[in-house]
Amino acid sequence: MAILELEDGTIYKDLQSIRQELAPLNIQLDYWTIGKNPKLNQKLAQESLDENEKEEVLQSLDRYFEQLKQTAGYQERDLIALHPGIPNLDQMLQKFDSIHTHADDEVRYIIDGEGIFGFVRPDESQVELTVQPEEYINVPAGCEHWFYLTPACRIKAIRYFIGKEGWVPEYTGRQKVKVGIGHRA
């Protein structure tokens, strides 16, 4: 279940309150079930997946991709699986831990593990949202945000794209305020 923490330490765990707090940013947050497919759940339990296994997972959950293609024009999807065994993981993640925007929406469906999105709100306060399995998030183009992994250091997420060229981070230079107990110093 998603957890939203405000700068003042207030914590929200119910979807309605989280959506209300994120509404000024037009962030979409929803729950999409993975289901009880034993073969799929076995793959999700693995630390890493080869390209064939990733494609099997994607195909198992393509009903959501089909919806996004029909309703929002998404054309591509892939599966990212991050875990401590990936060489240079910290360096890879550093490019997303600074406040940035994208020219296109950043759309993720978390299917295993967890991560933290931070956001700058219109009043310039900052919040952090922990996303977990079966959570779908759409961060709109131009929204100032950052991302990092929780101490478990693992996540599997399906990424949806209209086009990958719009997903390059554009750094704003804004500094992060320490929000929440999960933030890395």
CA dist., res. 110 & res. 115, Å (int): 9
| DSSP conformational letter for 165 | G
CA dist., res. 5 & res. 118, Å (int): 9
Is 50 part of any domain?
yes
Mean pLDDT taken over the chain: 93
pLDDT of residue 163: 79
CA torsion sign, 64 to 68 to 74 to 80? negative
pLDDT of 68 higher than 90: yes
Q: Over the stretch 93-149, which tens digit does the pLDDT of each residue have?
A: 998 999 999 999 999 999 999 999 999 999 999 999 999 999 999 999 999 999 999
- The vertex-140 CA angle with 143 and 68, nearest 5°, equals 165
The CATH number covering residue 17 comes to 2.60.120.10
Is 176 part of any domain?
no
Is 123 part of any domain?
yes
Separation in Å, CA 12 to CA 74, 123, 173, 181: 30, 19, 28, 14
Q: How far apart are the first and last CA of the chain?
A: 24
**Domain range holding 128?**
3-167
pLDDT band per the 50, 70, 90 thresholds, residue 185: very low
Q: Over the stretch 29-62, which tens digit does the pLDDT of each residue have?
A: 999 999 999 999 999 999 999 999 999 999 999 9
CA dist., res. 76 & res. 17, Å (int): 31
Split into its structural domains, the chain has a count of: 1
